[in-house]
Amino acid sequence: MDELGELQRYMAHLSEALGHADRHAGLRGYCAGLMSPLARKSVEPMAAAVDPQHVRSRHQSLHHFVADSDWSDEALRLRVAQWVVPRMDFSDGGWWIIDDTGFPKAGRHSVGVARQYCGMLGKQDNCQVAVSVSLACETASLPVAWRLYLPREWAEDEVRRRKAGVPAEIEFATKPNIALGQIEDLLAQGAPRHTVLADAGYGVDTAFRERLTELGLAYVAGITGSVTVWAPPREPLAPRTDAARGPQGRRLRRGQAGDEQHRPQSVKEVALALSPLAWYRASWREGTNQTLRSRFARLRVRAAHRDHLRNQPRPPEWLLIEWPEDEAEPTKYWLSTLPEAVPLERMVYEAKMRWRIERDYQELKQDPGLGHYEGRGWRGFHHHASLSIAAYGFLLGQRLSYPEQARAEKKTPLRQEPAVPTHYVPRGAPPGAAPRPLVDHEFAAAYRRAATS
């Protein structure tokens, strides 16, 4: 396998998204830096790794390429997808996985930084958050849409917007609305209508789920235990028809206190009321040491959110519940519009497929340096992320094309060569390298030499 030649062909393929030919060297140099064995993949240490004899000039050229040069990050991601997707196997299904990922940040001047929930930290803190849509199959996923979430305090601050170069057309949008816009753009480009997977941050939004249905997309969306539904035999009251008590009604009604038959329940209440016979053990994949399995129940329900403003109930859909035997109460809930005839194990398999994006984002944040950009502007943030996705896309494509070799390399310790002069200390670099490298550093070193020769 000629990896170096393959990478050169990949770079030529990506270069067609950049426009001017003078940007091609920036693409090759930046990707060479992202594939270097560095603890920090920001511009300065990458410049030292790519061209240690001319660090200052290389730093300026790479910084201009990522932060200022006017090329389309969307076009670059499209070229990445055109290269990787034909290597993905969709014989057992495909999914659109919606997710957001956070990047801890100090200060308040980097675009989009605010005190908000950061999944990487598991708490509220200063960070940037990006919303993404990934195309996934059983063995891989690739981010194909990517956009920074702009908190309202940023969206309404003209001074900070101007300094960070936020495009005029970017307005405040919730994360579910950003994700819907990304999905709609993908469908407009002719993307297939795969099932959408999302966690509870998106699934609790009724309008989000309804819009997916309008777009012809099935979903398996996480929800919280407080979401209310109509579970049989409960149902809303029909609109009022008794003319003697006022005008004929047009909206569904709920029963008064004590009329439990016509009042919705939270999904947690539904789960706790189920018979022990409703629960089944199901497995979904092989873990590192054992088959992953748990206890599940499911039933057909109708979502109840604000349906007193509707004239008819929402269509029935699946409520899937996980309650591990060693837990005191149910731990996870999903609403799904998968077909009524879908087997339970298949539904569990699809609900659990979100593990794929979590694992792949871990890899993206390790070797290709997804979260290492230190600039403050909107353009640089999106450019750096798309270039990290491009570097990851090549490595993913190689892994998919040569799976036996990829499995063998996982068992072989990788040797790392010094990537920068011994006297050079990257600004802000943490001690130690990222764990479980994805990059073959001997190959990366050969590519750096080719990219700078």
β-strand partners of 335: 221, 319
Contact 141, 147 (CB under 8 A): no
What single DSSP character describes residue 352? G
Q: Are 303 and 295 in contact (CB under 8 A)?
A: no
Higher-confidence position of 19 and 223: 223
Q: Which is higher by pLDDT, 401 or 445?
A: 401
The per-residue pLDDT of the chain, averaged, comes to: 88
C-alpha torsion 428→104→174→378, nearest 10: 0
> Under 8 Å CB-to-CB from 410, ≥6 apart: which residues?
none
Strands 95-104 and 195-198: parallel
Give the mean model confidence (pLDDT) for residues 293-314: 92
**Per-residue pLDDT at 452:** 54
**Range among 112-121, 264-273, 351-360 with highest mean pLDDT value:** 264-273
Q: What is the mean pLDDT of residues 10-27?
A: 94
Mean pLDDT of 410-429: 38
- Cα 359–Cα 357–Cα 80 angle in degrees, nearest 5: 105
Average pLDDT over residues 99-111: 90
pLDDT exceeds cutoff 50 at 411: no
Find the largest Cα–Cα distance for the chain.
Answer: 91
| Structure tokens given for 101 | 């990922």
Reported as a single tens digit per residue, the pLDDT across 65-97 is 999 999 999 999 999 999 999 999 999 999 999
Supply the pLDDT for residue 249.
67
Lowest pLDDT segment from 186-190, 271-275, 381-385, 431-435: 431-435
Task: Inform me whether the pLDDT recorded for 424 exceeds 50.
Answer: no
State mean pLDDT over 31-44: 91
Measured from the Cβ of residue 29, the count of other Cβ atoms closer than 10 Å reads: 22
Token duo for residue 139: 């063995």
Phi, psi of 347 (to 5 degrees): -65, -40
Residue with the two structure tokens 């001690």:
431
pLDDT of residue 425: 38
Nearest alpha carbon to residue 230 among 204, 256, 269: 269
| β 265-266/228-230 pair status | antiparallel
Q: Tell me the pTM.
A: 0.87
Q: What is the dihedral of CA 276, 277, 279, 280, to 10 degrees?
A: 140
Answer whether 197's CB lies under 8 Å from 97's CB.
yes
Written as one string, the DSSP assignment of 73-106 is: HHHHHHHHHHHHGGGS--TT--EEEEEEEEEE--
- When mean pLDDT is compared across 153-157, 262-266, 288-292, the lowest value belongs to 288-292
Give the pLDDT score at 337: 98
Q: Per the structure block, which two tokens stand in for 69? A: 């040069």
Least confident stretch, 132-136, 175-179, 241-245, 290-294 = 241-245
Return the closest-CA partner of residue 398 out of 444, 436, 359.
Answer: 444
Residue 300 pairs in a beta bridge with 318
Which DSSP string do the residues of 235-251 spell out, in sequence order? Answer: -PBPPP--GGGSSPP-S
Nearest to 318 by CA among 203, 174, 179: 203
Q: Summarize pLDDT for 248-269 with one digit per residue, the tens.
A: 567 888 888 878 888 899 999 9
* 288-297: average pLDDT: 92
Domain boundaries, the chain: 3-197+358-452, 198-234+259-355
Binned at pLDDT 50, 70 and 90, residue 445 comes out as: low
Q: Which residue has the higher pLDDT, 250 or 167?
A: 167
Number of neighbouring beta carbons within 10 Å of residue 285: 14
Residues 6+ apart with CB under 8 A from 331: 322, 323, 324
Q: Name the amino acid, one letter, at 363.
A: E
CA gap 270, 278 in Å, rounded: 12
Buried b (16+ CB within 10 A) or exposed e, 223-254: bebebbbbbeebbbbeeeeeeeeeeeeeebee
φ, ψ for residue 303, nearest 5 deg: -65, 140
Residue 189 DSSP SS3 = coil
- Over residues 169-200, the pLDDT tens digits come to 999 999 999 999 999 999 999 999 999 999 99
Question: Over 50: is that where the pLDDT of 26 sits?
Answer: yes
Whether the pLDDT of residue 446 is over 80: the answer is no
d(CA 415, CA 207): 51
Above 90 in pLDDT, residue 308? no
Q: Is 163 helix (H, G, I), strand (E, B) or coil?
A: helix
Cα 152 from Cα 171, distance rounded (Å): 9
Q: Taking residues 432-450, what's their average pLDDT?
A: 48
With CA atoms as reference, report the closest residue to 112 among 131, 95, 96, 93: 131
Beta-strand pair 265-266/280-286:
unpaired
Residue 13 — φ and ψ, nearest 5°? -65, -45
Asked whether residue 404 carries a pLDDT value surpassing 50, the answer given is yes
What pLDDT does residue 288 have? 78
Given a cut of 80, whether residue 41 has pLDDT beyond it is yes
